[in-house]
Copies of this chain bind each other. A is one copy, B any other.
Amino acid sequence: MARALPRPNEASKPAGRANGARAVRAAARRQAILDAALDEFAAQGFAATRLDDVAKRAGVAKGTIYLHFRDKETLFQEIIRSVLSPVVTTVESAMQVDIPIRVIAGQLVEVFVREIYGTRRKDVIRLIISEGARFPSIAEFYYREVLSRVFAALRALLARAAARGEIKGDALIRFPQLMGAPVILAVVWNGLFDRFEPLDVRAFLNAHLDVLFGPGRAA
């Protein structure tokens, strides 16, 4: 199991001056629980995950989980909410640069491959897809904090590109989701069918860009 996540926005708990040690340990434990829980939730789904296993994997006692999270559902939501948000800003920024959409799209592929597909954030996306329907607040949070922000930036980007004549029809303008569809497929495929037929995600997404914007150079 991938253990670490590139976490740009460190800092977390203030830790004051005095017993910083204790605060640090607490934060570490909390993170260990989050990590372990993500592993378990990703592997078993929400309902089938036992907090006993989470505790064991995190190396803490069962009761310790409850020192950091109110209950199983809160723990779950905490993971979903905390893991993806950091990338949103990165993606937004990349979209706002005033260069050809084909270039930006290529950068986004790299960001996705590196920051999401190559990390456990991929599992979080899978969890949202799998469990989102049962946790309306999660779907809502994800739509509000992630999707709508990304889509806003994407629409602006597409408008600029259209103005520059980089896009042919109006399909992408009307359905920006088309740009993200292969990303979803990649995550789903990875979870279900990679062992039967592996998918080279980077190549796959770049091929998609070729379809959208005409062939680029690199793959």
Contacts and interface: CB of A to CB of B under 8 A. Distances in A.
A172 B130 CA distance: 28
A211 B182 CA distance: 14
B134 A210 contact: no
Contacts of A171: 207-208, 210-211
A212 interface: yes
Interface residues of A, number: 48
Contacts of A197: 143
Contacts of A156: none
Contact of A180 (B45, B174, B185, B203): B185
Interface stretch (A79-87, A111-119, A186-194): A186-194
A197 B175 CA distance: 12
Contacts of A184: 181, 184-185, 188
A199 interface: yes
A172 B207 CA distance: 8
A25 B193 CA distance: 38
A43 B178 CA distance: 27
A96 interface: no
A124 B191 CA distance: 17
Interface of A: 43-48, 126, 128-134, 139-140, 142-143, 147, 169, 171-172, 174-175, 177-178, 180-182, 184-185, 188-189, 191-193, 196-197, 199, 203-204, 207-208, 210-212, 214-215
8 contacts: A45-B131, A128-B192, A129-B192, A140-B196, A142-B192, A169-B214, A171-B207, A180-B185
Given A45-B46, A130-B131, A180-B185, 6 more contacts: A43-B133, A44-B134, A129-B188, A171-B207, A178-B207, A178-B208
